[in-house]
Amino acid sequence: MFGRFTKYLRLERLAKLLGMRKQIQLGFYGPVNAGKTTLANRISIDWLGKEVGKVSEIPHETRTIQKIENVEVTTNNGHVLRMNIIDMPGIATQVDYKTFASYGLTLEESKERAKEATKGVIEAIKWLDNVDAVLVVMDASEDPYTQVNVTIIGNLEARGIPMIIVANKIDLPNASPAGIEGAFPQHVVVSISASTGLNMEKLYEAIQEHLT
């Protein structure tokens, strides 16, 4: 048993050295409207030439898990990242259909969206046991020290899942990535703007260095 495990580790290491390591399942977690789908779209458009999900200012636009398979990213220093990206619905502790109605949705549409949103949160939590690594996406213009962020990071720590915190939306005038670094000093933080593409190369390099 032990010998078989050692052999597996050797093969894994050899595969990694040869650049043959299997694709990682990279989950995108974070609160609602942090820009997870915008980031997934940025990566998918840049490397696969297609968009994966609709983006909207209405909360809970992503209500089902979206998988982008076989993404190959070549970094500036020549490394090739092979990954399946899993864009999760945003994690929330409350879903009130009236919020959606305030964006102009009908009562029925709002209630249906709320129902789907709650299912999406449950699915995202279930998937914590199926990802190899995670990008925790946060809106750098918001207070990072929320219970949702603390719970996501605490769960990843408890499961031993490697993560990078993505301080997104740094193109906004009130963005403060330093606030995120201060709130979670024990983790790698990469500041980007998924909507403009700023610092995407730094993110790819960080994934290669810390998550593969």
Partner 1 sequence: MEIRLDFIPAATLAAKDPVEKMDFILERIKRNVIIVLEEGLSPREEAELIAATMREIDARDFHGIEFYRLDSRETRLRERIANYISGKRSGLTIVGPTRMVEAIKKEPDCISMLAKAEVECPTDAPSVAGSTKGRKR
Q: How far is the CB of 60 from partner 1 (least distance, A)?
A: 11
Q: Any contact of residue 92 with partner 1 (CB under 8 A)?
A: yes
Q: Any contact of residue 88 with partner 1 (CB under 8 A)?
A: no
Q: Any contact of residue 128 with partner 1 (CB under 8 A)?
A: yes
Q: How far is the CB of 107 from partner 1 (least distance, A)?
A: 9
Identify the residue among 8, 14, 145, 178 touching partner 1 (CB under 8 A).
Answer: 145
Q: How far is the CB of 160 from partner 1 (least distance, A)?
A: 12
Identify the residue among 20, 46, 64, 154 touching partner 1 (CB under 8 A).
Answer: 154
Q: Is 1 helix (H, G, I), strand (E, B) or coil?
A: coil
Q: How far is the CB of 156 from partner 1 (least distance, A)?
A: 8
Give the pair of three-digit tokens for residue 200. 């995407």
Q: Would you say how long the chain is, in residues?
A: 212
Beta bridge partners of 189: 165
DSSP 172: S
Identify the residue among 11, 45, 150, 178 touching partner 1 (CB under 8 A).
Answer: 150
CB–CB of 29/91 below 8 Å?
yes
Environment class of 186 (CB within 10 Å of its CB; exposed 0-12, middle 13-18, buried 19+):
exposed
Give the pair of three-digit tokens for residue 107. 């009562």
CB–CB of 187/163 below 8 Å?
yes
Nearer to partner 1, 68 or 165 (CB): 165
Our CA dihedral for 37, 55, 52, 70, rounded to 10 degrees, sits at: -10
Window of 45-53, 72-80, 116-124, 200-208 that interacts with partner 1 by CB under 8 A: 116-124
Window of 30-38, 115-123, 161-169, 173-181 that interacts with partner 1 by CB under 8 A: 115-123
Q: How many CB atoms lie within 10 A of CB 183?
A: 18
Q: Which residues bind partner 1 (CB under 8 A)?
A: 91-97, 111, 114, 118-119, 121-122, 125-126, 128, 143, 145, 147, 150-151, 154-155, 157-158
